[in-house]
Structure 1
């Protein structure tokens, strides 16, 4: 049942990167049946929020967690086996799985196993961090089995249901919401363009040539407009990883250039950067939706083509597609109102404030079912996907029935200082390999 004033709703979030932690924690706060429907201190929403960070290549650093700015009552790093044990022992009401698709599928099977003898289980929620522009069917079917699969817009909800219904899977879990981190003061009409922000992405574009081209165009724009502040907004610092791997950080490319004084590399919370942005430029970042929601002029670049590999094809029909040549010449994209509305951003009235009502009502109804909830039933099973599912589960050290495999990483106590040093060194070596060694090997292969 929904929490009372004396017993807060207990919510857990499992995330595998900084961006997914941000999405998961803010989503938990917005969809909690007792919450006011806006992000903030979980205590204000009458819930207890426990965070679990899945150990892996993208486990966020303390700096990244601080930048997200989401408070939790507890936060700890876990392996898959440790998390499943915690879910067997802790009586949570709601669980948000903020993971890549394979991680969601593995946890669904593992949770089905650990909860099989429990009379009641938590409501399981999952979804996507931002724009869904690739691997739609694969990602969705890996998420099937959760009680709620959140769609960030009307367009996504329609697509999600079509995929599930097309394979004969139950589509009732699809629930339309919105991105949980939208907000901030809207752009106050037309005025002089003083601050231009380029929102970089870790994996788009991929090649050195394309990334160098975009950086060069940003430099040329800054030199052409010395009165403007030009900001290169970066997601992570060298050595850190976010949701996607970044082999060629812009910081590294920028070291070889003589940057103009009005161009700076910045980090920090995207919302705070948007507070002073007059034009947001990107290839396909979710930051474009944040910018559009605040009615900030937003440009999605066509310089490298409009291609599925770049993700900017998602913005076809938005009115935001433009090239650097057009922007340098003074063009300011005007978004298409109907397209924007279908994305769940920049909606009229207070529709964003009510965007999570359906999810809250659905969770409250599930929590209130007298006999508890039935076992989790993912679409993928050893019968429907015998050649695919075992590999997905094995990557998280789970057997075909969702049970942790012998020797699965776990810890009965906090790791000692030696283990912590070894873990940090291994993670650093991996990141060094991604950002230093891999690009060299790739260039050698192209000779």
Structure 2
């Protein structure tokens, strides 16, 4: 959430930032709403001051036996007593209205983020590896998985409806191997602390990372009012909500391997075949909590950690800098890792790494105590996929397909596969 004081002090910069994101100017309406709120607060303070002063004046009048003045002052106190609750209610109403408006405004992009409307305006930051050079025809992952006999969409639909998958045998093990490889890499070599956290959270947690109130349609809600997490970013980031951390203990780096749940509202007709866009999928999440000075460098580091997963799997990919129109709601800058899928003959997103500045921290009220002892500052938060396990499985199937329809296991996953080096058609 953005700071209304910053908006008041920088209305042109704020409106320009919104324009880069394709949104209308809002500074005038927000500042007008804040002026009304501030006016009511000032009126309340004046009434409270007058009430305190009148109370003393009544005592003085009574001491001087000036009954007429005392009664006049008491009548004034009665009016103030009636007026203050109404003013307090108006102040609460205007504050809630302002906070709601601020909570729906996206973050301000960093200056080096390319300006654009959609994914067509994203910029290539780097390309890693080469596309596989085969003589045989590539296939899409669902063709490969179904032909092997270990990927079943019909049974998944029988159980749960569309956008679910049942994996069995070696494909189920391959999915598990990918997740274990990722979490071992990030904890063993990249310095992240593994976390096992809830898959259901309260409203406050979803609000803290920006899913609520604007994106409720993208979420699943339980009958008792909790939300299924769309990503472990929600729980990992909210670990520090409401806390004051010590600056010299930063950065904090967390990782978790969890299921994620998304309603995919608005995606009707998109990626209906296969596993690309599911209601439930595994993801290895990365979250960093830093001070204000370190977040930009941490963003580069986090992206490199996610890239390392794809490098060790021998997958060709490119890292894209997202333009202002394609970035997520809470991001100031985002890198997307797009893996090459031979079956689709295109790149597809497999990881998204974002730096959010203090945008989420303001919503969570998460701060750190400055080393110089001069007060506190909001932490900066970062999140990224390290990576999406299901999409990584898709990439392995399509890039390691053999001419006979079997799939070779990447070397880095062999320790997790119980001696299996190749997945062949079920007997």
> TM-score w.r.t. structure 2 length?
0.24
Q: Which has the higher helix share?
A: 2
Q: Which has the higher strand share?
A: 2
Instruction: Find the structure with the greater CA-based Rg.
Output: 2
